[in-house]
Amino acid sequence: MWERRTEIPLLLLAIAFLVAYAWPIVDPRLNRTLEETLTVVFWTVWGAFCLDFLIRVLLADRRGHYLLHHWYDVALIGLPVLRPLRILRVLAFARLLSRSAARTIVGQTTLYVVGLTIIAVFLGALAVLDAERAAADGNIKTLGDAVWWACTTVTTVGYGDHYPVTTNGRLVAVALMVVGIALVGSVTAAVATWFIQHAQAESDAV
């Protein structure tokens, strides 16, 4: 009941968090007042997510079991820079977005893959731009470069025209590669499921 009531508020908070996280990276020449405001928004939203998680733990019948099976929430709270990934979970459970797509397994997979791809590309581009822009020998200097690199990496194409040279940038690259491999597997599974369901429907009709 609590999670259903907080779906939309958490989605809005996640969007606010993304803005506060992304704006200083996209425009590093922010004036001091705006930068301080975004910092306040960042930590305020993070505090709200911490409170939400604490309430969900207190409402759980078996709190230890809940913590064990929601370890990713603990990780996201402990590492606030990763908190925007929470938006995917909110989107996946939001009725407004899943009402029509969640009727079949294929629909659920499609929603998940599309959402994860958008979030992965956006966050990957921001993270690699933040890591690479100041590198003397770096070749990812603009948001356009970063988005292009993220797209080619998450789709496992990897043209090689842009690539990270810093340790943090390479860690982002590894994460995107893993996501890309998972996406390929998800798409393959979705297509296979569609064929199986189609064949089963034809068999039942005979």
**According to the model, what pLDDT value does residue 88 have?**
41
121 lies in the same domain as 191: yes
77 lies in the same domain as 124: no
Q: Which of 87, 122, 143 is the last residue of a domain?
A: 87
- Six-digit token pair at 110? 């499609």
164 lies in the same domain as 190: yes
Q: Taking all residues of the chain, what is their mean pLDDT, rounded to a whole number? A: 77
For residues 90-103, average pLDDT: 40
| Residue 113 domain flag | yes
40 lies in the same domain as 115: no
Q: Which regions of the chain does DSSP assign to beta strands (E)?
A: none
Model pLDDT for residues 31-86, shown as the tens digit of each residue:
889 989 988 988 888 888 888 888 988 988 888 888 888 776 776 666 655 544 44
**According to the model, what pLDDT value does residue 47 have?**
85
Chain-centre distance for alpha carbon 74: 16
Q: In degrees to the nearest 10, what's the CA dihedral of 112, 114, 116, 120?
A: 180
Range of the domain at 46: 1-87
pLDDT band at 193 (very low <50, low <70, confident <90, very high): confident
| Residue 93 domain flag | no
The identity of residue 182, as a single letter, is: A
pLDDT at 145 over 90: yes
**Helices then strands (H, E): number in the chain?**
10, 0
Per the structure, the count of domains in the chain is: 2
For residues 13-42, average pLDDT: 85
pLDDT at 139 over 90: yes
Largest CA distance in the chain: 71
Q: Which of 57, 87, 117 is the last residue of a domain?
A: 87
**According to the model, what pLDDT value does residue 93 have?**
36
**According to the model, what pLDDT value does residue 83 have?**
47
pTM over 0.85: no
144 lies in the same domain as 109: yes
68 lies in the same domain as 110: no
Query: How far from 78 is each of 31, 46, 162, CA to CA, in Å?
Result: 29, 10, 31
Tell me the percentage of the chain whose pLDDT exceeds 70.
Answer: 80
pLDDT at 206 over 70: no
21 lies in the same domain as 120: no
| Residue 109 domain flag | yes
Q: Which of 55, 87, 119 is the last residue of a domain?
A: 87
Model pLDDT for residues 170-189, shown as the tens digit of each residue:
988 988 888 888 877 777 77
Query: Could you give the CA distance from residue 150 to residue 20 in angstroms, rounded to a whole number?
Result: 21
**According to the model, what pLDDT value does residue 140 have?**
93
- Six-digit token pair at 169? 């940038």
| Residue 94 domain flag | no
